[in-house]
């Protein structure tokens, strides 16, 4: 994903903070590495474009609609899991007053079909994007967030692998959804 100019390809924001170039970035002339303060994405900017840098480190698998996470914050709410890996997940929910970007929190994973759950999964939200959809007669803002897992215990890792093996479908492209 790319845009023209020095701005974030994901949210189109210009509130960027400079980061140190990674060694592999030295091969791009006049490259600059930035972090978007609005949506927490990393970008590589070099005249005349800016490119989104993918943060995923492992293969993601699409999940069925019956897998949800419960977000604990000012207001408890459920979110739909879109994809899951051994290192993180991507989820969405209807916007309310909560903002989780750059925060560490614990979530509970629920399998609504089987009635099973996995509690207290530590995550850190890495990216947030917002989308407005018309649901019924009113516009609704949907928040999409990407997160990585914190330190998981052996049982949590085993159950996550089981969810991926049982329910996961390989994605065609890591940025497809």
143-166: per-residue pLDDT in tens?
888 888 989 999 999 999 988 999
pLDDT of residue 148: 86
Question: In this structure, what token pair is assigned to residue 67?
Answer: 């897998």
Question: In this structure, what token pair is assigned to residue 152?
Answer: 């998981």
Q: What is the mean pLDDT of the chain?
A: 81
148 alpha carbon, distance to own chain's centre: 8
Where do the structural domains in the chain lie, given as residue ranges? 2-53, 61-170
Fold observed for domain 61-170: Thrombin, subunit H (2.40.10)
pLDDT-derived band at 174 (thresholds 50, 70, 90) equals: very low
pLDDT of residue 158: 92
CA distances from 91 to 11, 17, 23, 110 (A): 17, 26, 31, 13
Average pLDDT over residues 45-65: 81
Answer yes or no: is pLDDT of 177 > 50: no
Q: Are 3 and 50 in contact (CB under 8 A)?
A: yes
Q: Which residue has the higher pLDDT, 96 or 43?
A: 43
pLDDT-derived band at 46 (thresholds 50, 70, 90) equals: confident
Q: pLDDT for 107-132, tens place per residue? A: 999 988 888 889 999 998 877 777 78
Q: Which residue has the higher pLDDT, 154 or 137?
A: 154
pLDDT of residue 57: 65
Average pLDDT over residues 41-69: 83
Q: Which residue has the higher pLDDT, 66 or 74?
A: 66
pLDDT of residue 154: 93
């Amino acid at each position: 994903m790319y845009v023209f100019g020095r701005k974030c390809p994901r949210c189109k924001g210009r509130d960027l903070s400079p980061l140190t170039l990674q060694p592999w970035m030295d091969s791009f002339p006049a490259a600059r590495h930035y972090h978007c303060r609005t949506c927490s994405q990393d970008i590589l900017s070099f005249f005349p474009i800016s490119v989104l840098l993918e943060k995923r480190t492992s293969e993601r698998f699409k999940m069925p609609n019956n897998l949800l996470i419960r977000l604990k914050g000012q207001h408890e709410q459920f979110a739909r899991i879109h994809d899951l890996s051994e290192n993180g997940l991507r989820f969405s929910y209807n916007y309310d007053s909560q903002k989780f970007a750059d925060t560490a929190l614990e979530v509970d994973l629920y399998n609504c079909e089987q009635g099973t759950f996995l509690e207290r999964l530590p995550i850190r939200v890495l990216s947030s994007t917002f989308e407005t959809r018309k649901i019924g007669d009113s516009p609704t803002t949907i928040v999409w967030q990407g997160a990585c897992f914190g330190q998981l215990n052996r049982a949590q890792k085993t159950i996550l692998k089981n969810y991926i093996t049982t329910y996961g479908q390989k994605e065609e492209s890591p940025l497809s959804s």
